[in-house]
A and B are shown apart, each in its own frame.
Chain A
Amino acid sequence: MMNLLNENLTLAPCKYEYLDHTADVQLHAWGNSLKEAFEQCGIAMFGYMTNLSTVEVQAVHTIEASGHDLESLLFHFLDELLFLFSCDPFLICNKLVISEFNTEGEEFRIECKCYGEEFTLGKHPQGTEVKAITYSAMQIIIEPEQNNYEVFVIIDI
């Protein structure tokens, strides 16, 4: 855990929504860069587990994820975040900052700082449990001319 004193704890604006799917839910997130869209997508997943306005930033953890293409990078990024929540430190995040975002070469890589606190019954309302991330109908839209970056991910719930 790092010192939180010198960190910028301003929360990012909400750039995500939840779309219909019969048994599951589809996360749709966007931003001015692919990095931002990824961060937003991660927050969207946490937002499905609880009401994020109840979360205070009391801890920060760093995760790493890698993949062989953008889709697998996004998949593993979200899987790491889910893992962070599912066992020690049981972290529920309201802010993600990707500090390294390498999408070139053999191995794509993400390093991300995750801000939040331990999920506590009583303090954080129980939303829906996320079972797993899926590749199902996964879409990553990159339109630099329009300054538009979007991702779509179905999570199994």
Chain B
Amino acid sequence: MVVRSYNDELKYLEKINNYCWRIKIGFQPNMKVEGCFYVNAALEKLMLEELRNACRPGMTGGFLPGVKQIANVAALPGIVGRSIGLPDVHSGYGFAIGNMAAFDVNDPQSIVSPGGVGFDINCGVRLLRTNLWEKDVLPVKEQLAQSLFDHIPVGVGSKGIIPMNARDLDEALEMGMDWSLREGYVWAEDKEHCEEYGRMLNADPATVSMRAKKRGLPQLGTLGAGNHYAEIQVVDEIYDKWAACKMGIEEKGQVCVMIHSGSRGFGHQVATDALVQMEKAMKRYNIETNDRQLACSHINSEEGQNYLKSMAAAANFAWVNRSSMTFLSRQAFAKQFNMSPDDLDMHVIYDVSHNIAKIEEHLVDGKPKTLLVHRKGSTRAFPPGHPLIPVDYQLTGQPVLIGGTMGTCSYVLTGTESGMEQTFGSTCHGAGRALSRAKSRRNLNYTDVLRKLDDMGISIRVASPKLVMEEAPESYKNVTDVVNTCHAAGISNKCIKLRPIAVIKG
């Protein structure tokens, strides 16, 4: 890492407009392209503060600030356009979280990096609508929260209740949501409203280690812990009535269910295995990176291809996982209201992935190119008319689901043409941490956090009390700041705001 004083570092950063900063070449060694990050005034302070802390004399061995990580990604072979930090960016493993970067598939030097996807492969958000209103749910809110908590296995050490053996798992890995559909856990329409229709075709279970499969098998159909959650939410604001209408959201007060989860131990192990493989590959292919954590391999190398195939299998696992929890949520609602999920109109509005790498067509300097787009803590946001988004959303643009944290709002955005040009059709993914977990535990008090949630009318069921502080709203960047920055920068449009009334967490 280049060591400079904070003021010298600032010379490499330039504010282009109120919402975007440029990271100039030279900020880190070997940068092939520039970097940039999207922030508003409030988020800008957090971003620069992180850099300033890292520049303090005597700071050694700690972690790299997000802005340095964005620049290190800009130094990876084969990168095109810019290395982009979204408004919720913060320091991560290798890539920053909230970082996207695209690599030219036809350039033999181009790389694929598991660090550019993250450990929780295809972590994502799914939103279900209902035809219930807040007034229907409020009287039974506690029972409903408890019922969801009882239906969905949550937290560390919980096991899935969907019957599954090793052969089923292999089929699920290959088929994704087609498996869930065949087994009767989801509706055919659900697939339509899911990125990739819930199935990545290049998935190959044979490239996945036994270890990953063993870790995955007991965990299928579990929510997980940490920032994952299932929430009952209420439409709080509609910014774009027409687009909301297309999603089946009519009025304020309508009840929705949001599920935020990923590929569980399966994906974590696939990522761990790939990182070990790629460390070796980097030596063999002489790939130079600024940071050991940016383990990568050429896209067309054996290691690169194996990773893409096993990552696709993990993505399919995550879709089956979210589908299983969709099934369980529908059951919980159906029992509570004594109506079928169909009569409750519990359709999937959309399902997004915010930790994934995909091959996509984009215009680079006016020419079409095939790119491998890494999105880590970043959501795809394709504009109206894009061939890869479902018929129902052809005119509105792809729905983008932004999960808040416990007690804060969540948003539905839509993709824009300007986002396609600026960020390869990518936008933010959530709030992004501001405080460390240990700091949250020190500074916040368990009962205070619970009382505050109660004051806001939010029921909570959480498996681990520690999480209550760690995941408290104060520990995160303000999701409204994040979403407003994306809207103002034009990389996505605000459509709907949702407010939680019940939270189920690990």
- Interface check A147, CB cutoff 8 A: no
In the assembled complex, the CB of B283 is this many whole angstroms from the nearest CB of chain A, namely 11
Stretch of A21-29, A53-61, A104-112 with 4 or more beta carbons under 8 angstroms from chain B: A21-29
Distance (Å) between the CB of A35 and the closest chain B CB? Answer: 23
Q: Which residues of A contact B215 (CB under 8 A)?
A: 83, 86-87
**What distance in Å separates the Cβ of A69 from its nearest Cβ neighbour in chain B?**
11
A128 at the interface (CB under 8 A from B): yes
On whether the beta carbons of A126 and B272 are closer than 8 Å, the reply is no
Q: Is A20 a contact of B439 with CB atoms below 8 Å?
A: yes
CB of B421 to closest CB in A, whole Å: 30
B347 within 8 A of A: no
> Is the pair B438, A20 in contact by a Cβ cutoff of 8 Å?
yes
> How far, in angstroms, from A130 to B93 measured CA to CA in the complex?
15
Instruction: Decide if A101 is an interface residue (CB 8 Å cutoff).
Output: no
Docked-complex contact A157 and B437, CB < 8 angstroms: yes
Please provide the chain B residues from 451 to 483 with a CB less than 8 Å away from any CB of chain A in the complex: 463-467, 470
Knowing A20-B438, A25-B438, A125-B464 touch, does A87 contact B433 (C-beta < 8 A)?
no
Nearest Cβ in chain B — how far from A114, in angstroms? 16
* A86 & B265 in contact (Cβ 8 Å cutoff): yes
Q: How many residues belonging to A are interface residues under a CB distance threshold of 8 Å?
A: 39
Cross-chain contact B90 with A124 (CB below 8 angstroms): no
Task: Return the chain B residue nearest A139 by Cβ.
Answer: B61
Q: Does B201 contact A (CB under 8 A)?
A: no
B436 close to chain A: CB less than 8 A: yes
What CA separation (Å) do A127 and B464 show in the bound complex? 5
Which of A79, A126, A133 contacts B225, CB < 8 Å?
A: A126
Q: Are B157 and A23 in contact (CB under 8 A)?
A: no
Shortest A99–chain B CB gap in Å is 23
The answer to whether A11 has its CB under 8 Å from any CB of chain B is: no
- Report whether B268 and A131 are in contact in the complex, using a CB–CB cutoff of 8 Å: yes
> Using Cβ atoms and an 8 Å threshold, which residues of chain A touch B119?
131-132, 156
Q: B292 at interface (Cβ–Cβ under 8 A)?
A: yes
Are B293 and A121 touching (Cβ within 8 A)? no
Q: Choose from B155, B293, B436, B506 the contact partner of A136 (Cβ within 8 Å).
A: B293
Counting contact residues on chain B (CB < 8 A from A), the size range is: 35 or more
* Contact, CB under 8 Å: B97 / A133: no
Which residues of A have CB within 8 Å of B271? 132
Q: B63 contacts which of A25, A125, A136 (Cβ < 8 Å)? A: A136
Contact A127 B156 (CB under 8 A): yes
Give a binary string over B288-304; 1 marks a CB under 8 Å from any A CB, 0 the rest. Answer: 00001100000000000
Contact call A126/B91, Cβ cutoff below 8 A = no
CB distance from B227 to the nearest CB of A (A): 9
Q: How near does chain A come to B166, taking the closest CB pair, in angstroms?
A: 12
Whole-angstrom distance between the alpha carbons of A132 and B268 in the complex? Answer: 6
Residue of A nearest to B377 (CB): A23
- CA distance in complex: A125, B215 (Å): 21
**Residues 202-235 of B at the A interface (beta carbon under 8 Å):** 211, 214-215, 217-219, 224-226
- Interface hub of B218, B269, B439, B467 (most chain A Cβ within 10 A): B269
Q: What residues of B have a CB within 8 angstroms of the CB of A85 in the complex?
A: 157
- Nearest A residue to B435 by beta-carbon distance? A22
How long is the Cα–Cα vector from A134 to B438 in the complex, in angstroms?
A: 18
Give chain A residues whose Cβ lies under 8 Å from the Cβ of B93: 134, 136, 154, 156
Contacts of B293 on A, CB cut-off 8 Å?
Answer: 134-136
Interface flag for A119 (CB, 8 Å) = yes
Contacting residue for A124 out of B61, B157, B433, CB 8 A: B157
Q: Contact at A129–B155, with CB atoms within 8 Å?
A: yes
Within the complex, the shortest CB–CB distance from A132 to chain B, in Å, comes to 5
Given pairs A134-B93, A135-B293, 4 additional interface contacts (CB within 8 A): A22-B90, A23-B91, A87-B215, A130-B156
A-B contacts, 29 of them at CB < 8 A, read A18-B438, A20-B436, A21-B438, A22-B63, A22-B433, A22-B435, A22-B436, A23-B90, A23-B97, A83-B211, A83-B269, A86-B265, A87-B215, A88-B214, A88-B218, A90-B157, A119-B157, A126-B463, A126-B464, A126-B506, A127-B156, A127-B464, A128-B226, A129-B506, A130-B156, A132-B269, A134-B293, A137-B61, A156-B268
Interface residue ranges, A against B (CB under 8 Å): 18-25, 49-50, 79, 83, 85-88, 90, 92, 119, 121, 124-137, 139, 152, 154, 156-157
Query: A-B pairs with the 7 shortest C-beta distances?
Result: A129-B225, A126-B155, A129-B156, A126-B463, A20-B436, A119-B157, A87-B214
